[in-house]
Structure 1
Amino acid sequence: MMKPKLHHIYFFAICILLISCEKPKKKEVERPNILYIMADDHAVQAISAYGHPISKLAPTPNIDRIAKAGVLFTANYCANSICGPSRASILTGKHSHANGFMQNNNEGFDGSQATLAKIFRENGYQTSLIGKWHLVSEPTGFDHWQILNDQGEYNNPDFVTSKDTVKISGYVTDIITELTVDWLDQRDPEKPFFLMMQHKAPHRSWIPAERHYNLYDDVEFPVPNNYFDDYEGRFAAANQEMNVYRDMFEGHDLKLSIERGVDSLRFDPWSHVFFGRMTPEEIEKFWDAYREKNDAYFEIDPSDSVSIAEWKLQRYLQDYLAVIKAVDESVGKILDYLEENDLVDNTLVVYTTDQGFYLGEHGWFDKRFMYEESFIMPTLMQYPGKIEAGISIPHLTQNIDFAPSFLDICGIAIPGDMHGASFKPLLFGGLAADWRSSIYYHYYEFPGIHNVRAHYGVKEERYKLIYFYKEDIWELYDLQNDPTEMKNIYGNEGTEAISERLKTELRKLQDQYAVPDEHR
């Protein structure tokens, strides 16, 4: 047998040495965490990143941090403008008729169906839900859940787990923040997480944290130009029951005393969730904060209906925006936590709400209608290094897009039966030439609270067509020339072609989403 020559031995030795010194292959990029922060009824007008005059007087600097570090969605809409159904659409990526939760008084969300939480957990994520659930049935797919009982209470709320219900002392927004931080501290750091942190605030009845009772007492917020809307040509708008100065409960919503100098609220049908949750000391602090400014109401001439209506709007906005102050503080604490624990770069942070809200536009509070203030959802996201800082997305997106988008960003297959589309290309600078040009909406809850008629419709960038199907009434709006939707131009000469084109688009979307005949 031939012996290897010396130079061959040297050659092989050098090769082995080079191989042994080779740098280890870089690990694949870790899948990002998803931190989903949801408020309840947070209007676009009340987030200063959107630049509305109201928000300039009551800024949200911490929520704005997300927009500065990432992206602001300027045309994101809900599929059904009411709390439970919107949450169901977000969890499933489907319109209400497909996920089965069409109105708040449903028997309960079908937890056996595929949801974001289940899919993430099946793919190795830790899943957690803390805060408001409001889907009647128990959450499924979450490794950990700690939820408010029904709507929840602002003061000393009850929290429900799979084992028990416990009353926790404190202010609900602060408690949810603390519970979230506790979970983050105790999670398995070797696994990515999908965490839904869902606030009650700023849902009705807008009770601020004690530290914010008098925050905006000296601020006069702008009155919308259509606050005294006469609803001409809009049947459903004329027959709603969500007017600030006619329909708000003066005790429960506006916190008015029965008379000057008397520490007793006017009509409050849900007193058990107001003073019923406070200690005697907390009630006294409330009256200390509200007594003097309530007395000022009685200085208005009772026959001066305009001044009374405007006073009620100011009280509503002062409380609503003071409630949001605590939410903004919460967001700041969570963002700080991510920074302090080196979680910023590998976490997609989302801030949104379940639908928009009226802050006096058309004279209203609440939501439900397909009109812009109720329909649009504020949405902000950051994912440093992946999403360019300070950008905006003007494309028509919807809450049914959240589920497929989050899965896509995390490299998880999107179920074929989801109605939504992944907006990952929009986030990461991809081409959007084939992005949708219209979206579908459907509100079912009639008869119901606030008396808003059932309706569905289609929205494009410029035009919106709405059909109140139980009354067979159509409405058409040109959002370019009438952004506040005061003029229903359906049936006007020259609009026939627009209406027919939108009706065709509406039927196409209903076919695409397999809307049953009984819901058309």
Structure 2
Amino acid sequence: PADRHRGRYDNEPLPIEIPTTEAMEAGNKPMWVRNQRNSRHGVDFGYNLPGFSPEVYYRRYCESLLAVDESVGQLREFLKQQDLDQNTIVVYMGDNGFQFGDHGLIDKRTAYEASAKVPLLVVAPGKIPAGVPFDGLVGNIDIAPTLLEAANASAPKNMNGQSVWKALCASDASSLNDRTLLYEYYWERNYPHTPTLHAIIGGRFKYIRCHGLWDRDELYDLESDPGEMQNLIHDSRYADRIESLNQQLWQLLKNSTGMEMPLLEDHGPRFPLRDKNQSPQAAFPKEYFSEK
């Protein structure tokens, strides 16, 4: 944080409930998630610092953002002084979400809501209604075609994403009701805690498929379980839905030329360490043991 902001939130509690290892196991979370809890990207050994505190980390992070808030305010004030504020579209967003204890993690490399979602604020005087929440599914790949349409320009045919300009101006997300987005993350040797993941984002149910790992996949009902703590992947009541979502996932991969995974050259330091005094290695899922 800037010196002028440091300590502003010292008395604020962490607004996130960090699950216990017992709760994670009871919710059928994958082994890799429970193991990542004790890693560079977990609450037990965050950034490989003994005694790491998610609470302090979160407070300092929020204090650092106060300088960003000031800069945005200065920019908008400049636009106003130059009589440009009524003819300028301002887009405020983050490049990724982040976990500050959600699922026992502190990183961004997962398909969970805290990681996959980013803040998005759009100001367009006379076009987009002010102060109105928009709950349509918008991806970062939509920003470029949206701004092009706002400027009465056409997006190149090979550009990913779709314009949501008309939906924003009408404050009507109904045209996006059935939309889904493909989530992709590829394993990095530097951070071996998170496997290759593919997921379908959008709608009531989220399906997450891990690749190259002897572990569970995941299914969450975001309506009844917005915290994504009860993995339904082996619940027989959802077998048909899981099969359908898996087929949809593979179709999205085929349609987006995503059938090949990048092989990345080693780059930078590796962070495989665990704290021997923190949470132990997770056991194999119970459904993987033979009853015979």
User: Do these two structures clear the TM 0.5 threshold for a shared fold by scoring above it?
Assistant: yes
Deviation digits for residues 158-214 of structure 1 (CA, Å, limit 9, x no counterpart):
xxxxxxxxxxxxxxxxxxxxxxxxxxxxxxxxxxxxxxxxxxxxxxxxxx1111222
Provide closer, same or farther for how the CA distance between residues 335 and 386 of structure 1 changes in structure 2, counting only shifts above 3 A. Answer: same
Partner SS state of residue 392, structure 1: coil
Partner SS state of residue 209, structure 1: coil
The answer on whether the counterparts of 1:223 and 1:360 sit within 8 Å (CA) in structure 2 is no
Match of 1:486 in 2: 229
Provide closer, same or farther for how the CA distance between residues 430 and 378 of structure 1 changes in structure 2, counting only shifts above 3 A. Answer: closer
Provide closer, same or farther for how the CA distance between residues 432 and 317 of structure 1 changes in structure 2, counting only shifts above 3 A. Answer: closer
Query: Whole-Å Cα distance in 2 between the matches of residues 517 and 337 of structure 1?
Result: 47
Matched AA of 1:244: V
Partner SS state of residue 133, structure 2: strand
The answer on whether the counterparts of 1:367 and 1:374 sit within 8 Å (CA) in structure 2 is yes
* Cα offset, 1:432, TM superposition: 5.4
Match of 1:514 in 2: 257
Query: Whole-Å Cα distance in 1 between the matches of residues 55 and 172 of structure 2?
Result: 45
Match of 1:377 in 2: 118
Partner SS state of residue 366, structure 1: coil
Listed as ranges, the matches of 1:7-406 within 5 Å are 208-217=1-10, 219-222=11-14, 224-230=16-22, 231-232=24-25, 233=28, 234-240=30-36, 241=39, 242-250=41-49, 312-406=53-147
Match of 1:80 in 2: none
Q: What is the total number of aligned residue pairs between the two structures?
A: 253
Partner SS state of residue 415, structure 1: coil
Matched AA of 1:371: Y
The answer on whether the counterparts of 2:18 and 2:103 sit within 8 Å (CA) in structure 1 is yes
Partner SS state of residue 440, structure 1: strand
The answer on whether the counterparts of 2:132 and 2:171 sit within 8 Å (CA) in structure 1 is no
Matched AA of 2:46: D
Partner SS state of residue 85, structure 2: coil
Partner SS state of residue 107, structure 2: coil
* Cα offset, 1:367, TM superposition: 0.7
Pick the aligned partner of 1:474 from 207, 213, 217.
217
Matched AA of 1:460: G
Query: Whole-Å Cα distance in 1 between the matches of residues 157 and 218 of structure 2?
Result: 33
Matched AA of 1:239: N
* Cα offset, 1:223, TM superposition: 5.2
Provide closer, same or farther for how the CA distance between residues 450 and 381 of structure 1 changes in structure 2, counting only shifts above 3 A. Answer: farther
Q: Which runs of 5+ in 1 are unaligned?
A: 1-207, 251-266, 268-307
Partner SS state of residue 211, structure 1: coil
Partner SS state of residue 321, structure 1: helix
Query: Whole-Å Cα distance in 2 between the matches of residues 370 and 486 of structure 1?
Result: 13
Query: Whole-Å Cα distance in 2 between the matches of residues 247 and 390 of structure 1?
Result: 37
Partner SS state of residue 441, structure 1: strand
Pick the aligned partner of 1:497 from 240, 243, 259.
240
* Cα offset, 1:356, TM superposition: 0.5
* Cα offset, 1:403, TM superposition: 1.2
Pick the aligned partner of 1:458 from 200, 212, 215.
200
Matched AA of 1:226: I
Provide closer, same or farther for how the CA distance between residues 355 and 349 of structure 1 changes in structure 2, counting only shifts above 3 A. Answer: same
Root-mean-square deviation over aligned CA pairs:
2.1
Partner SS state of residue 210, structure 1: coil
Provide closer, same or farther for how the CA distance between residues 326 and 517 of structure 1 changes in structure 2, counting only shifts above 3 A. Answer: closer
* Cα offset, 1:452, TM superposition: 1.1
Provide closer, same or farther for how the CA distance between residues 374 and 450 of structure 1 changes in structure 2, counting only shifts above 3 A. Answer: farther
Provide closer, same or farther for how the CA distance between residues 415 and 363 of structure 1 changes in structure 2, counting only shifts above 3 A. Answer: same
Partner SS state of residue 417, structure 1: coil
Provide closer, same or farther for how the CA distance between residues 209 and 249 of structure 1 changes in structure 2, counting only shifts above 3 A. Answer: farther
* Cα offset, 1:226, TM superposition: 3.2
* Cα offset, 1:419, TM superposition: 2.1
Deviation digits for residues 329-363 of structure 1 (CA, Å, limit 9, x no counterpart):
11111111111111111110000010101122223
* Cα offset, 1:517, TM superposition: 4.3
Query: Whole-Å Cα distance in 2 between the matches of residues 517 and 319 of structure 1?
Result: 39
Partner SS state of residue 128, structure 2: coil
Query: Whole-Å Cα distance in 2 between the matches of residues 410 and 355 of structure 1?
Result: 26
Match of 1:412 in 2: 153
Q: Percent identity?
A: 32
Matched AA of 1:235: M
Q: Is 1:447–2:189 an aligned residue pair?
A: yes
* Cα offset, 1:318, TM superposition: 2.1
The answer on whether the counterparts of 1:438 and 1:458 sit within 8 Å (CA) in structure 2 is yes
Matched AA of 2:7: N
Matched AA of 1:245: D
* Cα offset, 1:478, TM superposition: 0.9
Provide closer, same or farther for how the CA distance between residues 381 and 229 of structure 1 changes in structure 2, counting only shifts above 3 A. Answer: farther
TM-score by length of 2: 0.80
Q: Which runs of 5+ in 2 are unaligned?
A: 263-292
TM-score by length of 1: 0.46
Partner SS state of residue 245, structure 1: coil
